[in-house]
Amino acid sequence: MIKSKYLQDKNREIITKYFEKNNFERYRSASNILIYNEENDFSLNPNYQTSRIILLDKDFIYMAVIKENFRLNIPVLTKHIFLKRDLKKLLN
């Protein structure tokens, strides 16, 4: 969870610009949820992706990172930490 100094609409705008700048594919965008996908590093199959799910609630941002892969469970913790750090910088 990240507490922002902005409200939901401004947070959505900032987060959308961040993901577009970093060349993520927008999968879903609604008033309170954003889902962006990225092809997995070193993946032989383009169906395996890392999804970033952002839930917006007033001035709070909740996020999750989900990674699909075949028989390989590479941790998503580092990607989650970097994403959280970047969003905190942008939103505060």
Q: Residue 7: what pLDDT?
A: 93
Q: Residue 76: what pLDDT?
A: 65
Q: In the chain, which residues have pLDDT < 70?
A: 41-46, 69-77
Adjacent-strand bridge partners of 34: 29, 54
Alpha carbon 69 to chain centroid, angstroms: 18
Own/partner long-range contacts of 24-33 (Cβ < 8 Å, ≥24 apart): 24/52, 27/51, 31/56, 32/8, 32/56, 32/57
Domain of residue 86 covers 2-91
Return the CATH number at 20. 3.30.310.80
The tally of domains found in the chain comes to: 1
Q: Residue 68: what pLDDT?
A: 76
Q: Residue 73: what pLDDT?
A: 55
The residue with tokens 């959280």 is 84
